[in-house]
């Protein structure tokens, strides 16, 4: 099967990259997990170096890497054309992990930062979900497909300093549930994964004592690893989840239960 994986880009409040999901984090873990399952993986990232870094770490197979701006309909359409040309068919599984953060408290949040986060996290999810679903429907295949969108537990419970991020991830969950209702007739499933505190390039910059406080909040007693999220994505990509659509699966170690 062909998998598109949109890897995460982490940004700080000044919109400067502090770590690329193409080189590590959830996106890379998802690529690796699905490639080990025998999937052909199409890796997409805004930064070519990130996508190529993930590509080099995958086991042997027909894998490709492309650059992509998920907030641009033209960029998404061009990528879908590249994928269909290379693989001779649309992807039957899409794991959409693209996301940024530009954190600030509500009273100081800039309109530009709010718009930027929603452009990537929510509009990007819409454009990718729409493009993949259209390609699957137009192909006339009977095998359906699985679209997996990356939300966040923050979209359900909120978080200090993340009014834009929380709003975008709440939107991702609602979008996915609606898409699941509309696409079920075509055999296309759409689900959302809601990670909690997950180790990533961003957490590498956080003091250990702060990470220890986060871990203490989690009933299972540790931060999550990217592989914990990747395992759930692999399940949702497989036939083992064939009767699951419109679901939101928390990967939080029990946080907020």
Residue in 10, 165, 186, 243 annotated catalytic: 165
Percent of the chain clearing pLDDT 90 (strictly above) = 77
Percent of the chain clearing pLDDT 70 (strictly above) = 91
Strand partners, 5: 43, 95
Domain 2-249, what fold? Rossmann fold (3.40.50)
Which stretch of DSSP H or E encloses residue 228? helix 226-237
The whole-angstrom separation of Cα 110 and Cα 75 is 26
Of 15, 70, 14, 5, nearest in space to 41 by CA:
5
Based on the residue annotation, tell me whether 165 is a catalytic residue of this protein.
yes
Residue 69 has what pLDDT? 92
Residue 13 has what pLDDT? 33
Using alpha carbons, list the distances in angstroms from residue 51 to 43, 58, 126, 136, 213. Answer: 6, 11, 21, 24, 33
Residue 211 has what pLDDT? 87
Q: What is the pLDDT of residues 136-181, one digit of tens each?
A: 999 987 779 999 999 999 999 999 999 999 999 999 999 999 999 9
């Amino acid at each position: 099967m062909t998998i598109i994986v949109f890897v995460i880009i982490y940004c700080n409040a000044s919109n400067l990259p502090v770590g690329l999901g193409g080189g590590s984090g959830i996106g890379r873990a998802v690529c690796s997990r699905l490639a080990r399952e025998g999937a052909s993986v199409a890796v997409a990232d805004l930064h070519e170096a990130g996508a190529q870094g993930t590509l080099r770490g995958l086991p042997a197979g027909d894998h490709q890497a492309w650059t992509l701006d998920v907030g641009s309909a033209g960029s998404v359409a061009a990528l879908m054309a590249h994928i269909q040309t290379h693989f001779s068919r649309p992807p039957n599984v899409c794991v959409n992990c693209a996301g940024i953060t530009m954190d600030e408290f509500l009273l100081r949040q800039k309109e530009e930062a709010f718009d930027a986060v929603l452009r990537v996290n929510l509009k990007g999810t819409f454009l990718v979900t729409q493009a993949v679903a259209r390609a699957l429907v137009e192909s006339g295949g009977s095998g359906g497909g699985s679209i997996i969108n990356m939300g966040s537990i923050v979209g359900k419970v909120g978080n200090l300093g993340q009014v834009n991020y929380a709003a975008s991830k709440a939107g991702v969950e609602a979008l996915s549930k609606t898409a699941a209702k509309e696409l079920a007739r075509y055999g296309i499933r759409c689900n959302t994964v809601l990670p909690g505190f997950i180790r990533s390039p961003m957490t590498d910059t956080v003091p250990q004592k702060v990470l220890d406080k986060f871990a203490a909040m989690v009933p299972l007693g540790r931060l999550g690893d990217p592989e914990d999220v990747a395992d759930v994505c692999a399940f949702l990509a497989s036939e083992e989840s064939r009767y699951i659509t419109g679901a939101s699966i928390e990967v939080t170690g029990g946080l907020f239960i």
